[in-house]
Every structure is written in structure tokens, then in C-alpha cells.
Structure 1
Amino acid sequence: MLKLKVDGMTCGHCAQTVTRAVEAVPAVERALVDLKAGEVSVEGDAEETAVRRAIEDAGYDVRGAA
């Protein structure tokens, strides 16, 4: 499982946006956002760079692995 720290998520809408963006990446089975911790956990075999790009394209900053 891939875990990334994400900056800029402040509400439920942010969490939904990140979840949808990550789940659109090929080979992602599921994305779980922990809004309070500012993290997203990704299940599946997706490439980390593709997941990072999807989050950044959605308007959020990835700080690194959680």
C-alpha cells in the first residue's frame, strides 16, 4: 500500500476530489483519504509518480511518503 502526505485538503469536498483523482489512475483499486492526518492511502499496483501527478493535477501538493 502506498501512503502519501497531501497538503491543502481542508474539507470533505477536498477529500472527495483527491479520492476521485487517485481512483482514476490505472491500477488503483481503492483510495482512502484521512483528512485529519492529511494522508491518502492507495491500494493497488499503480505507479507512485502517476498517483502523485493525479493529486497535483487536482490542485493539491504531495509532500512525500507518509
Structure 2
Amino acid sequence: MSQTIDLTLDGLSCGHCVKRVKESLEQRPDVELADVTVTEAHVTGTASADALIETIKQAGYARR
């Protein structure tokens, strides 16, 4: 069952950063939609918060 997870982000400063995180999240098969700004990510799907945080870290950014 899908859920929306809201995360506060740290280290994003431009549109390129936002695009990179959004694309990284949306490449996951358990993510349906990722709405990302420089300060927040709202992710809908079946992924756990821990899995999403790990994906954000692998993209080179952090969760606040």
C-alpha cells in the first residue's frame, strides 16, 4: 500500500541538486512520485523512510 513520506533535506542549493535527488528517488521501483525542493522531499510509494534516506545519501546529499 502506498504512503507519502515527508523528509527535510540538507545540502541542496540549486535546481540541479533538486533534479538529482528527484531522479535518484524516482529510479527506485518502490517510489511512485517524488516532489523535491531544496529543503524538503515528499515521496509517495512503498519504500521505507530508511531506504529513501539511503538513496538521498547515495546521491550525495543528507537528510536534516
TM (norm. structure 2) is 0.87
Tell me, yes or no, if structure 1 residue 32 matches structure 2 residue 31. no
Classify the secondary structure of the residue corresponding to 1:25. Answer: coil
After TM superposition, what 4+ stretches of structure 1 lie above 4 angstroms from structure 2? none
Q: Of 23, 35, 60, which residue of structure 1 is paired with 2:26?
A: 23
Give the TM-score normalised by the residue count of structure 1: 0.85
- Which position in structure 2 is the counterpart of 1:43? 44
Determine whether 1:5 maps to 2:31: no
User: How far does the alpha carbon of each residue in 1:10-38 deviate from its partner, in whole angstroms, 9 at most, with x for none?
Assistant: 00000000001111223100100122xx0
Separation (CA, whole Å) in 2 of partners of 1:59 and 1:26: 20
**What's the Cα RMSD here?**
0.9
Gaps of 5+ in 1: none
